Amino acid sequence: MCLHLYTTYPRLIPQFTESSSKKFLKAAARGLLGLPIGGAFLNAFGAIVLGAPIGIKYWAATTYWSLLMSLFTIVPAACVFGASKVNWQAVLSHSIYCGSTDAVDYMISAPAHGAVIGAWLGAWPMPLDWERPWQEWPISVTYGSVAGHLIGMAISLALIVAHKRRGRAKAD
């Protein structure tokens, strides 16, 4: 997770914000506010509503998992888009893959969707009665979300390359 923070976001924020240092600091502050306030709270609430265990024993695990999911889903969009309702709707919808003209949309939406789908797929083995240590909350969900995020990053790269090739073909 720390490697992801140190490698992806310092390159993502300056690339898609204006060159002014004020803009960079503003985008970084939006991301820092989006992590605990918007993302972690919503992810923890969603996990509890969908069946995550409740109690003091599981509070720390749920908090850590919700912070991780917030880092994968909410923070990149908050850094780049801020509070733009139109951009958030575009990123959260799946229609972005069909008609998007911007590489930023692919870079933010595909990894976020991959993390959510990966967490959902990672939750499948939890109710099975195998009594294995990796079935505890949130181990399999965390592995699923990390794998989904990585697959989403690969998909976003493939979409960007395909989009650029399509743009060159139209220009010729």
Report whether 139 contacts 113 (CB < 8 A).
no
Domain coordinates in residue numbering, the chain? 8-171
Nearest partner of 77 among 61, 66, 93, 88, judged by Cα: 88
pLDDT number for residue 98: 67
Q: What is the pLDDT of residue 103?
A: 79
Q: Which residue has the tokens 């976020």?
A: 112
pLDDT tens track for 3-52 = 555 455 555 555 555 555 667 677 777 777 767 777 888 888 988 898 88
- 71 and 8 in contact (C-beta within 8 Å)? no
Query: In this model, does residue 95 exceed pLDDT 60?
Result: yes
C-beta atoms surrounding 6 within 10 Å: 9
The whole-angstrom separation of Cα 77 and Cα 39 is 11
Structure-token pair, residue 146: 């990390």
Return the residue matching tokens 């979300």. 145
pTM for this entry: 0.79
